[in-house]
Amino acid sequence: MLADKAKQFAQHWHANQQDKAGKPYFLHLEFVAKFVADQSDEVIATAWLHDIVEDTVITIEQIEQLFGKVVAQAVEAITKRQGEDYQAYLERIKKNGIARKVKIADLTHNMDLSRLPHINEKDLARAEKYRNAYRFLTT
């Protein structure tokens, strides 16, 4: 199953990474994958892989070779490019149905400030940015 392969791949490449709360990064990926668990294998695989290009040395080309063109296109759409305008990034995501579903799941988890041990102004500003992105992607 493609999603199982993506889970194992992500688990390997995101090993030892932590989220903003200091928890294993894999738990974030797991939340996103569970959020879309009723979707297609390609959507679930993309959920596991949605941060892999930004956070590791893995390339889109490698994703395509291992997981196919559909997943690679979705991962590419959801990967923020260096220096890219945030609104342009969201517009690209919105054009790819799989990326859109996965980003909505990602934002849902990222907006949950209860995960953080301490909340500061930067966290509140980031959560507001994510809420605006969520509204854009869900309308």
Residues 6+ apart with CB under 8 A from 50: 29, 32, 75, 78, 102, 103, 106
* Contact (CB, 8 A) for 13 and 48: no
Structure tokens at 131: 């809420």
User: CA 54, 32, 34, 123: dihedral to nearest 10 degrees?
Assistant: 140
Q: Which residues are marked as active site?
A: 54-55
* Contact (CB, 8 A) for 134 and 104: yes
Distance CA 3, CA 100 (A): 17
| Eight-state DSSP code of residue 82 | T
